[in-house]
Amino acid sequence: MPDPGGQRIAHLQYLLPVFSLFPKRALFLERVSGPVCGGPDGYLVWETGDLPKGADVEKFIISAAITGGMTVPGQSEAIPITPEAIIDSAVGAHEAGATIVHLHVREPETGKPSSDIGLFREVVSGIKDRCDVIVQPTTGGGKGMTLEERAAVLPELEPEMATFNTGSFNFGLFPIAERGGEFEEWEIDYLEGTRDYIFRNTFADMEKVCAMFREAGAKPELEAYDVGHLYNIKYLLGRDLLDTPVHIQFVLGVMGANAATIEQMMHMRRTATELFGEDYTWSAAGVGYPAEYHLAAMCLMLGGHVRVGLEDNLRVSSEKRADSNAELVEKVVALGEMFDREPATPDEAREAFGLKGRAEVAF
């Protein structure tokens, strides 16, 4: 038994839930002299019983990024292309636990990323007819689309949420073509073309899009790919162009922006907290494998939300390519269980984010 007079160091359940073998119970570190078993040198880990009231970690919101706008179909047969396939994949992801589905559309014949509002309308209304998942179209679009094309989903669909990209940067996918594979000619051109591609989101662009979000009554998910983008968000808040609390997603691992490492993720999170205090919600999207799940595990430990999906990552393990978005969601649900966190329902997320509700959208 630990010495009752010893110094209690920390509630480890809050800080390092991965260490807890006793879910819903509290572990404490006790400072002792000399080497001890069961804890770091000089500390004894002991269990004290039920967690203090209110110590349960909140539910987590899973966003499933279904198809993407910067990848090409030749990268994986699992990437859904037609409106029917995108709808089925989104509904399947929701059934597996996704709270939000993040959506792009593709030309049904070729699989090329598209900004066709008719395709968007078909997809979002097809999903809405089948389930109550939060439908979140992109305003990032794909290579070569104008800002007007990318942002047209806001006035046209008036969604509950949409993505908002918070800075310009190089977006390089050309190494995928260099690695070789079974690609159509247009796919190689598309990927190769990113050698000279800037994903443009200037201050003027962002100011315009902020106004469009307010007009549409949509909540932006603020995509921050690098630490400077957090300062751009601060600027927009300072001009009263965004409503609080903001929801920020750290997107790490794009070639041309910040890396999907534990250190950079912590740097982004720490910087965001310095800039915004506790007055924001957040999630992370790791691009590639295993980045997607490394970042998801960090989000789960640190109280954030998560994003997975074929837009960002094509593997479910180092041995196996993903067959579906649902499979990627299932893995993050299982990861959540290990951290005593369960997925939020769409209505719970609506409440947490203060969304207007699915009755208020224009589709």
* Tokens at 244, concatenated: 């609080």
Nearer to ligand KMH, 254 or 332 (CB): 254
Q: How far is the CB of 108 from ligand KMH (least distance, A)?
A: 20
Q: How far is the CB of 118 from ligand KMH (least distance, A)?
A: 19
Distance separating alpha carbons of residues 80 and 15, to the nearest angstrom: 39
Cβ-closest position to ligand KMH: 140
- What residues numbered 199-258 form the site for ligand KMH, per CB under 6 A? 223, 251, 254
Which residue is associated with the tokens 């691992």?
253
Q: How far is the CB of 149 from ligand KMH (least distance, A)?
A: 13
Nearer to Zn ion, 311 or 327 (CB): 311
Q: How far is the CB of 339 from ligand KMH (least distance, A)?
A: 25
Position 250, amino acid: F
In the beta sheet, which residues pair with residue 103? Answer: 137
Q: Which stretch binds Zn ion (CB under 5 A): 113-121, 138-146, 230-238, 283-291?
A: 138-146
Nearer to ligand KMH, 205 or 342 (CB): 205
Position 308, amino acid: V
101 binds ligand KMH (CB under 6 A): no
63 contacts 37 by C-beta, under 8 angstroms? no
Draw the binding track, 128-147, toward ligand KMH (x: CB under 6 A; -: no contact): ----------xxx-------
66 binds ligand KMH (CB under 6 A): no
Interface residue with ligand KMH, options 163, 168, 232, 258 (CB under 6 A): 163
Interface residue with Zn ion, options 136, 138, 168, 194 (CB under 5 A): 138
Nearer to ligand KMH, 307 or 341 (CB): 307
292 binds ligand KMH (CB under 6 A): no
165 binds ligand KMH (CB under 6 A): yes
Contact set with ligand KMH (CB under 6 A):
65, 68-70, 138-140, 163, 165, 223, 251, 254, 287, 311
Contact set with Zn ion (CB under 5 A):
138
